[in-house]
A and B are shown apart, each in its own frame.
Chain A
């Protein structure tokens, strides 16, 4: 299950575990959500047990953000594949 987060509010992620249940959960940071990819705050996401954490490349570039090494930067054509692979997508 893929979760989308478009704002820099990690509190919204508390819903993810309950919604995902037994399914693997992945997180895609988009828009202002990519501020959570910064090295200084990325560690705050580690407690949410996401299998992968992605950030959209253009959103990072537009904001001049250099993401933490644990965050995978994805172009839009790759995001299409991630969405289809997950089959279930929830916008938090």
Chain B
């Protein structure tokens, strides 16, 4: 069993990096490997519980279905339930005003100095996607 650490710099919609990282993580876990994901920069926008809007969204079903393909919260929680370790950088959260928002299940508040360092020194392979 190997350990892979991904430092993810991208959020959900800006490109496909987050989707790629989650699909890669799922495949690695399925093969019996360990996965760490560090949510850094815009990646920290993946860390939080969704806040549903209760009013009229003004989106038809087709648009809603399309935009739902970019929402990754459930997939990230699925990974943590399967053993993936996911930590954020609280400084990048602070800069985005999200530091106090509730985390998805299994996501931990973290930082570069301890969380990412711990991930890196315990990894067989580590790389950045951004």
Which residues of A come within 8 Å of B, CB atoms? 4, 6, 30-32, 56, 58-59, 76-77, 79-81, 83-84, 86-91
Which of A80, A86, A87 is close to B33, meaning CB atoms less than 8 Å apart? Answer: A80
CA of A83 to CA of B5, assembled, Å: 11
Total number of B residues with any Cβ neighbor in A under 8 Å = 21
The answer to whether the Cβ of B30 comes within 8 Å of any Cβ in the partner chain is: yes
Give 13 CB contacts A-B under 8 Å.
A4-B129, A6-B129, A30-B20, A31-B15, A58-B23, A76-B23, A76-B26, A80-B27, A81-B31, A83-B125, A84-B2, A86-B125, A90-B127
Across-interface contacts of B127 in A (CB, < 8 A): 4, 83, 89-91
- With A6-B16, A30-B16 already in contact, the answer to whether A76 and B124 are too (CB < 8 A) is no
Name the residue of chain B whose CB is nearest to the CB of A59: B16
For residue A60, give the distance in angstroms from its CB to the closest CB of chain B: 13
